[in-house]
Structures are given as C-alpha cells and as structure tokens.
Amino acid sequence: MKKSIYLLAAGLLALSSCIGTDIVEEAVVPEAVAITASIDSLMVGDSFVFSADYFDMLGRRADDPVIWSSSDNAIIDITQAGVATALAQGNVYIRAAVGAAQDSIRVNSGDVTSTVENQRMGMFQGLRSYNVQGIFTLTDTGDELELTFASDFRASNGPGLFIYLSNASTNVNGGIEVGSIQANSGMQTYTISKQDAQLNSYTHVVIYCKPFGVAFGFGEFDN
C-alpha cells in the first residue's frame, strides 16, 4: 500500500513539473517562406535550380506556388520554376515569395559556382521557470540532416519531452517531430530525413512537453 502511494506521489510530482502554473500558449505563427536549395555564387553561363518551402498561418508546409524573382535579370535571370541562369558578372538578390511572405539570398555571378555552408547553429534558452541551455547545430550531411546538442546541453526534467523543428519558439504546429529527448544533459545527435525537412526549412529547435503542450525552451538558428 505504501509503495502504491509512493508511486502515485512520484507520478504526480513528475506531472506537476510540466503543468505547474503553466498556461499553454497558442502562438501566432506568421506565414513564412524559406529558400531550401541555394548557392552563394554562380558562374556566368551556368544554371542552378532553387527551391523553397512555404508555411501557412498554421505553421504547416503548403503547396502554394512560389513566385521567384531576381533583383537584376540582366545579371541572373530566374524562371518561375526556380531555374536561375547567370548572364553577366555582378551581384543580385534572388527572392522567393508567396503573398507577403518572402525569403531572399544574395548571389554573386562570376567565375565560379559554389554552394552555401551546410551547417546552421543556435543556442537554447528556457521558458517560464524551466532551464534549457546549450549550443546546437544542424548539419546537412548530403543524405540526411543531423541535429546535434553540444556537451553543454542541459534541460529541466519533465514527462514526455520531445524535440521539434518549428517556425515558432513556443508552438510546434506544422513543425517536424525529431523524436523524444535522449537525455536531459550532454552531447546527443538526432537524424532527420531530408524528405521531412531541408537545412533551411525551419527557424527554431523546441524542447516540448508533449503530454501537456508546453514548451520548456527553444533555440533560434543564427542564420
């Protein structure tokens, strides 16, 4: 009998660490466009196919057509299929837009074609009274994405903690569930299929208490 009472009390304590006085926040998620395949320089005469993801007001990836444009079509011209062709030397901004939502990248037209960096990083911070800290990186290995928490990672204990890629700091609507947290401290790595996300698809990594819909903490990518 005493053992049953002890287990019940322990369970309630674990749940209270996630509920407490929390109020689940329904964060407003703005529409967003993210250029997912890009380069930083294109050799004159070469072509490259850009791609982009669009996320609606619910944070879901949607199939609305992306409108492509170049700040100077005489230097780099781009079709509505995202095919960019370098015509003369110079620098332009390639823009992808769906309505008012847009993303852009600066591209040099010159003597070489080179890709952008294959890694993004950020730093966690806690929400409310929860402690989440440490550096994380997201790396495109070619075949998949790898999300790595550095050895300085720490997170408060709680039931049902999961990791998400999201476009908001406290809301995971439309985000990608990476998986349940491996440990509350230390280095750890998670793999993500490139069918689910590209390197630049999402802006945040969120530590989320799934049973109660509460974000413990988040980190925003630096770039």
pLDDT single digits (tens) 65-85:
999 999 999 999 999 999 999
Rounded to whole angstroms, the Cα distance separating 134 from 136 reads: 7
Question: Which residue has 């992808």 as its token pair?
Answer: 96
Question: Which residue has 């947290």 as its token pair?
Answer: 181
Rounded to whole angstroms, the Cα distance separating 128 from 5 reads: 30
**Fold: same for 6-25+118-221 and 32-115:** yes
Cβ atoms within 10 Å, residue 153:
21
Inter-residue contact 190 to 153 (CB < 8 Å): no
Rounded to whole angstroms, the Cα distance separating 209 from 192 reads: 20
Percent of the chain whose predicted confidence (pLDDT) is above 70: 87
- Mark 200-222 as b/e (b = at least 16 C-beta within 10 Å): bbbbbbbbbbbeeebbbbbbebe
pTM of the model: 0.79
Inter-residue contact 176 to 164 (CB < 8 Å): yes
CATH match of 6-25+118-221 with 2.40.320: no
Give the phi and the psi of residue 14 in degrees, each rounded to 5.
-65, -40
pLDDT exceeds 60 at position 14: no
State the average pLDDT over residues 43-69. Answer: 94
Rounded to whole angstroms, the Cα distance separating 52 from 24 reads: 31
By the 10 Å C-beta count (0-12 exposed, 13-18 middle, 19+ buried), 193 is classed as exposed
CA of residue 169 relative to chain centroid, distance:
10
Inter-residue contact 60 to 16 (CB < 8 Å): no
Q: What pLDDT is recorded for position 123?
A: 98
Fold for 32-115, please state it.
Immunoglobulin-like (2.60.40)
Domain residue spans in the chain? 6-25+118-221, 32-115
Rounded to whole angstroms, the Cα distance separating 90 from 72 reads: 9
DSSP state of 88: S
Using 50, 70 and 90 to split pLDDT, how confident is the model at 120? very high
Closest to 175 measured CA to CA, from 23, 50, 51, 53: 53
Using 50, 70 and 90 to split pLDDT, how confident is the model at 23? very low
Rounded to whole angstroms, the Cα distance separating 189 from 153 reads: 12
pLDDT exceeds 90 at position 17: no
Torsional sign, CA 180, 182, 184, 185: negative
